[in-house]
Structure 1
Amino acid sequence: MEFPTTLEAVYARIDAFDPAHYARSRNFLNGGVSYLSPYLSRGFITVPQVVARLKDRGIGMEQAEKFIQELAWREFYTRTWFQRGDGIFTDIRHPQEGVLNKGIPEAVLSAETGIRSLDTFLATFPQRGYLHNHLRMYLAAITCNVGKYHWSEPAAWLYYHLLDGDLASNALSWQWCAGTFSNKLYYVNQENINKYTGSRQQGTFLDCTYEELPLLQVPEELRKSAKADLVFTPPVTKALEIQADLPTFVYTHYTLDPTFHEGEEGNRILVLEPSHFAKHPMSPRTIQFIYDLAENIPGMQIYYGEYASLHIKAIFRDHPINAHFEGIREAHPTLSPGLLGEFNSFFSYWNKLSKKLS
């Protein structure tokens, strides 16, 4: 799947999306997924914008409930990030059980886990920057719950390469699979993988019942640990040209909405902070994708430096990534404005949100 970077192409993708087909087939590798996640994670489009375009086509909650529920998962994870900050990068509810290994299985990096339908996609993942959500869950289950690796380093490796890398969705999905943000560990066996990937493989370390999975010893294929080399290449940027008599609109790689104060005169700056990328590096391919999206915003300048060093009172959209910014903070777009309180689980959140949406 290709990911175009013009707003017109993304709108066309939303308008061609079939929520009914998605509901029936989303778990299959060839299912009707939306391929909107890279744009949602960058804030290039927002969840309310997507739902509004569906409504413009006469598609409401009843027809699109499963898809809107998946969008709500994204909002739930972002909401958790707002509330917990960097706490999302540590085990949330309780420590991960049964951890025996650090790092990441070498077999994952070399695409040699022995699960062919996973290895096929792992082999091209760094170049493509995308994995179907079911493959991500399979990877987490195999790495954490069969290989007994802590979730944090494999999650950082996945995030590094993902075009749709969202720190909250990524870290909290890994924690959900590893059982540190859920009530149980997520397991998958070969039968399930064969069903949803269209494969017929047998004789792997996953070729057993679900009852047997928690009792497995770490298979030979996953025993060798490696350290992923997550090198961040700083961007080459030009000196900023600021017109002091105009307002300054600041964007981040999570808040790249071209409709933000669209048509208003002002300085427009994409801020990429070195302190952030030192902790959460991204691949050159992902950074280039972000630059390409930013080209949709007229007059955009790129600044690689700390926001505080700009010494400006900017206007920006609220997001956990810019919690430390000083200036005029505008509301984060959400399906749940006014929905207060902390929610310990997605379904406690969804129960309240779905009533508002209905």
Structure 2
Amino acid sequence: MNFPTNLAAVYDRIDQFDPEKYARSRNFITGGVSYLSPYLSRGFITVPQVVKRLKDRGIGLEQAEKFIQELAWREFYTRTWFQKGDAIFEDIRHPQEGIERFGIPRGVLESSTGIQALDGALKNFPDTGYLHNHLRMYLASTICNVAKYHWLEPAQWLYYHLLDGDLASNALSWQWCAGTFSNKLYYANQENINRYTGSHQRGTFLDFDYEDLPSQPVPDHLCRSVEASLPFTPPKTLPLELEADIPTFIYTHYTLDPTFHEGEAGNRILVLEPSHFAKHPMSPKTMEFILSLAENIPGIQIFYGEYADLNLKGIFRDHPINVHFQGTREAHPSLAPGLQGEFNSFFSYWNKLSRQLS
């Protein structure tokens, strides 16, 4: 799947998207998914913008409910990140049970898990930066619940390569699968994988009924643990040239909306903080994608350094990544900006949100 970085092409992708086909087929690897996640993760487009474009086509909540619900998952995860901060990188509700290993299975890095549908996708993953959501769930289930690894290091490895790497969506999805952000472990057996990927594999370590999967021994080839290498290459930058007496608009790799104060005079800076990437590195391919998206913002300059070192008070859109920024903080785009409080589960959030949307 190609991911163009031109705003007009992304808008066209939204306008061509069929939410009813999505509802019917989204669980299938070849299903009618939107391929919007890399742009949503980077704030290049926002959830309210997507819903508005659907409404402008006459598509309401009834037709698009399943898709809007998936967008709401993203908002739920972001809300959780706002509320809990770096605690999302720890077991958030319950300690993970049955951990026997840390690191990541060598078979994952070598695309040799023994599950053909996974291995075929993993072989191309570093080059594409994309995995269907169900493949991510199959992977997390296999690593955490079958091979009994702690979720954090595999999640960091996946985030490193994902074009749509969103720290909250990624970490909390892994925790949902591992049972630390949910009430039970998520398992995928071979029959389920075959159904949704179109494979026909039998006789694997996942080819059991669901009630029998937890009692199966860990396959030897998944016991070999390694530490994934996640080198970060800083972007090349030029010295900033800032005009006095005009505002400065600040962007991050999560808030790259070209319509943010569009057409207003101002300095525009994409701030990429070394302290952040030391903790959460990403691949050169993902950084290249981000910088290409930023080119849609006229006059934007790249600053690889700490925001505090700019010694200014910019104007920026609120996000968990920039809670320490000083300046004018504008509201994070949301489907229900007035919805207050913490929610213990997605569906308690969705029940209130859907009433407001309808």
TM-score, shorter chain, exceeding 0.5: yes
Equivalence map 1:35-184=2 (5 Å): 35-184=35-184
**Following superposition of structure 1 onto structure 2, how do residues 263-274 of structure 1 map, counting pairs within 5 Å?**
263-274=263-274
Matches for 1:339-358 after TM superposition, within 5 Å: 339-358=339-358
What's the TM-score once normalised by structure 2's chain length?
1.00
Tell me what 1:220 maps to: 220
Once residues 228 and 8 of structure 1 are traced to their aligned partners in structure 2, the CA distance between those partners, rounded to angstroms, is 37
Map 1:186-197 onto structure 2 (within 5 A).
Answer: 186-197=186-197
Deviation digits for residues 281-330 of structure 1 (CA, Å, limit 9, x no counterpart)? 00000000000000000000000000000000100000000000000000
SS of the counterpart of 1:211? Answer: helix
- The alpha-carbon deviation at position 60 of structure 1 amounts to 0.2
> Identity over the aligned pairs, expressed in percent?
77
| Amino acid aligned to 1:242 | L
Partner deviation per Cα, 1:241-277 (whole Å, 9 max, x = no partner): 0111110000000000000000000000000000000
TM-score (norm 1): 1.00
**CA deviation profile, 1:5-53 (whole Å, cap 9, x unmatched):** 0000000000000000000000000000000000000000000000000
Alignment partners' CA distance in 1, 2:44 and 2:191: 38
Superposed counterparts of 1:238-317, under 5 Å: 238-317=238-317
RMSD: 0.4
2 CA distance for matches of 1:204 and 1:304?
A: 47
What's the secondary structure of 1:212's corresponding residue? Answer: helix
Could you tell me how far apart the structure 2 residues matched to 1:23 and 1:334 are? Answer: 22
Aligned residues: 358
Q: State the AA in 2 paired with 1:132.
A: H
Question: 1:31 matched to which residue of 2?
Answer: 31
Superposition misfits of 4+ residues, deviation over 3 angstroms: none
SS class of match (2:210): coil
Paired with 1:193 and 1:235, the residues of 2 have a C-alpha distance of 39
Structure 1 residue 176: deviation in Å?
0.1
Aligned match of 2:204: 204
Q: Could you give the per-residue CA deviations for residues 92-140 of structure 1, whole angstroms, max 9, x where no partner exists?
A: 0011000000100000000000000110010010010000000000000
Paired residue secondary structure (2:211)? coil
CA distance in 2, matches of 1:229, 1:102: 14
- In 1, Cα distance between equivalents of 2:341 and 2:47: 20
- The CA distance in 1 between the partners of 2:119 and 2:317, in whole Å, is 39
Distance 1:16 1:235 in 2: 34
Say which is worse superposed, 27-36 or 214-223, in terms of deviation: 214-223
What are the equivalent positions in structure 2 for 1:5-16 lying under 5 Å apart? Answer: 5-16=5-16
For 1:236, the equivalent position in structure 2 comes to 236
Distance 2:288 2:337 in 1: 33
SS of the residue 1:69 aligns to: helix
Q: Where do 5+ consecutive residues of structure 1 fail to align?
A: none
Kindly state the Cα deviation for residue 221 of structure 1 after the two structures are TM-superposed: 2.2
Aligned AA (2:70): E
